[in-house]
Structure 1
């Protein structure tokens, strides 16, 4: 098993306002399926009302994230899956539910973690 990150940026969520209740319902249904199948690790959305900060090795706190990195926002799910193909299948479920494309990334395995 490997852990996969399935995400979408907030700008990708372009469903009409009158569909948002259905999007919410459908996305939560996919999460419920993941839990029922025992592959759910965690999921959520980045809280855009809380600005990011960057903390250096000496403890200095700087407002904002890395200047060169794209803004991190939107929704995400982490699932424990047997293969990349399984991750792509789950991403398709989320894409249908959220009405937007999903990105899939694999976490590197660290036996000490």
Structure 2
């Protein structure tokens, strides 16, 4: 089984308050379906009210982030499924629920974990 990251940026959710509640309800239903299917690993949204920090190898903490991840926000799900095709099927369910397209990325398999 491979793990896949399915995600979308916050800016992709251009919904009215009413539609946002309906999307939230539909998304929670897909999460419950994924849990029941045994493919749900983890998911959630980035708390954009909490600024990111960088932690160096010596433990030094500084505010900010890598320049290329400055816009890291939105919602994420990690699923463990038997194939890329299965990941794409789940991404389609999430996209329909959230009412926005989803990006799908595969994690490298680590035999040591």
**TM-score, structure 1 normalization:** 0.95
Q: Displacement of 1:67 after TM fit?
A: 2.2
Supply the distance in 2 between the matched residues of 1:96 and 1:81 (Cα, whole angstroms).
19
Which 4+ residue blocks in structure 1 deviate beyond 6 angstroms? none
Mapped to 2, the partners of 1:58 and 1:35 lie a distance apart of 38
Structure 1 CA distance for aligned equivalents of residues 22 and 68 of structure 2: 36
**Structure 1: which 5+ residue stretches go unaligned?**
none
**Aligned equivalent of 2:77:** 77
Aligned residues: 113
| 1:65 corresponds to | 65
Using the TM superposition, give the Cα deviation of residue 68 of structure 1 relative to its aligned residue in structure 2, in angstroms.
Answer: 3.4
Root mean square deviation, CA, Å: 1.0
1:77 CA drift (Å): 0.5
Q: Relative to structure 1, is the Cα distance of residues 43 and 69 closer, same or farther in structure 2, using a 3 angstrom cutoff?
A: closer
Match for residue 87 of structure 1?
Answer: 87
The residue number in structure 1 matching 2:24 is: 24
2:72 partner SS: coil
Determine the C-alpha separation between the residues in 1 that align with 2:72 and 2:97.
21
- Specify whether residues 77 and 68 from structure 1 end up closer, same or farther in structure 2 by C-alpha distance, changes over 3 A only: closer
Please give the secondary structure, in 1, of the residue aligned with 2:4: strand
Superimposed CA distance per residue, residues 52-108 of structure 1 (whole angstroms, 9 cap, x where no aligned partner): 001112222110111233411100111010110111110000000000010000010
Q: Partner residue of 1:3? A: 3
